[in-house]
Structure 1
Amino acid sequence: MNDDAQILIARLLTHQTLRRDDKMVKRALSDDQFRAEIDKRLLECGLKLLDNVYADHVTLALHRNVEPKIFGAKDIWQNNNFGLTRDGVALLVVLWAQIILPKRQRQETHQSIDVDQSDMFDKDNPIPRAEDTSIGISYTTLLADFGDKLGKKTRMDMNLGLLSKLGFIERRGDVILEGPLLDLLMDTDVLKERIINGALADVFKRAPVAAAPRRHVSEAANDEPVDTETPQA
């Protein structure tokens, strides 16, 4: 007989992501007993529920301890399971830095896009949703700033199409927006300094800059494992 934990896991496996305001997701994030049952069942399959307070969605990812058995180890490690090449991975890092970092700053200061300035720093309010704080980046600007470094227009367009298909970004005219996975599958706290001072400095062949992109696909630039949360799919 079906139960709520089974149904929620099946929905996540089917749809890849669900919104945090979904009724069953809200229960999983607030009901410790329900969450423990979900975690137990997922762990038996080598999976975990992935969420963070800055993202509007949740998803499933592989547990770290099973990744080597799935993707190999050391020199045979498959650095991502999305079919992304190094320039695609680097583009993903750039988009994360351009879209997610400013969004998180606005969320941490409780500043929505259309905010009442008197309420901007009201810490009693919940963290604003991603859709209320995520602005996006102009495709024209992205191409002008990074096109030469990331394969020029043809390669960038191809990789943007793939990132859109995978759910990392959404495109609305000239604007590239955060997709449901962009702020879920990047381990910011662990990798931000490594990205700033490591991978991107190598990718762009320039000295590290404090405000440079910081995050996730760091390893692709060095042909090592990518420290992204590996999704279920």
Structure 2
Amino acid sequence: MDTELKTLCARLLAQRVLPRADPLVRRALMDEAFRAELDERLAGTGLRLVENPYAEHVALALAPEMGEPVFGAGETWQNNTLGLPRDGVALLVVLWALIILPKRERQIARVEAGREGQSDMFGALKPLATGEAVSCGVSEDALYADFGRKLGGRTRFSANLGRLANLGFVTRRNKWIEEGPLLDVLIDYSQLAPRIIEGALSDLLSQRRGQPAEAAAAEPEPTPAGQTEEA
């Protein structure tokens, strides 16, 4: 087991991300003793394995107690260790909200529908819905039209999108952006989703609901038939 643990740790460090279907990853997710030893070894270096049952990959991240020593090591607090500027992080959050949030809704809906229709005693052990069947992408041109100017303009937008693709958060093909192996696993859904749905998205929807009333109040009242405005 020692050799397998060394191999898995080394591959995670070298490749940054591994598919759940990998034999050693599957063992780490299913073998409690193997996972406990893996967690202990990673914790000794300030790291932890990150995974969720809906994601198709696993990766490494900083242990929670290492946040301040790593991100607060300089004169100012770093927002990431990947070299992303602030507008790059903003673009990453936007892409996560557009791709992962809808995907997760479809995955949860499939799981709930499957539970309602279960008639066998082992139905709960079936794998959760993942993959391209529930994932979606976004148009690069549409994304720029909606957010490009707020994210630094065309040059900054393209540069940051290229960085995200190189890091493995997204893939780009023919002006179409899709989920990369890291997008769903390195961002904590339980923390970010409520902030977007109950925070930013809620504010946006409230603004949109208020716009028609404000617009109607701003419009001049129609002039009765047969009269002119001067009258």
Q: TM-score scaled by structure 1?
A: 0.77
Residue 134 (structure 2) pairs with residue 139 (structure 1): no
Q: 1:59 aligns to what SS in structure 2?
A: strand
1:121 corresponds to: 113
Gaps of 5+ in 2: 116-122, 207-231
Structure-1 separation of matches of 2:25 and 2:81: 26
Look up the SS of the partner of 1:76 in the other structure. Answer: coil
* 1:209 aligns with one of 198, 204, 213: 204
SS at match of 1:134: coil
Alignment of 1:96 onto 2:96: yes
Higher relative contact order (CA 8 A, sep 6+): 1
Contact map agreement 2:79 2:86 (CA 8 A) in 1? no
Residues paired across the two proteins, number: 198
* Letter matched to residue 146 of structure 1: F
Contact persistence 2:169–2:180 (CA under 8 A)? yes
What's 2:174 paired with?
A: 173
Given that 1:196 and 1:209 are in contact with CA atoms closer than 8 Å, whether structure 2 keeps it comes out as no
Distance 1:36 1:137 in 2: 39
What is the RMSD computed on CA atoms of the aligned residues? Answer: 2.5
Q: CA deviation at 1:71?
A: 1.9
* Identity value in percent: 50
Partner of 2:44: 44
Shift in CA distance, 56/68, structure 1 to aligned 2, threshold 3 Å: same
Per the alignment, residue 184 of structure 1 pairs with: 185
Specify the alignment match of 1:20 in structure 2. Answer: 20
What corresponds to 2:151 in structure 1? 150
Residues 86/196 of structure 1: CA separation in 2 closer, same or farther (3 Å cut): farther
Structure number with larger C-alpha Rg: 2
Q: Judging by fraction of residues, say which structure has more helix.
A: 2
Aligned counterparts of 1:148 and 1:66: Cα–Cα separation in 2: 35
What SS is found at the alignment partner of 2:60?
A: strand
Q: Which runs of 5+ in 1 are unaligned?
A: 112-119, 202-206, 212-233
TM-score, L = length of structure 2: 0.78
Instruction: Give CA-to-partner distance per residue, 1:171-196, whole Å, 9 cap, x none.
Output: 11121010111111111212333345
Matched, 1:57 2:52: no
C-alpha separation between the residues in 2 aligned to 1:100 and 1:130?
12
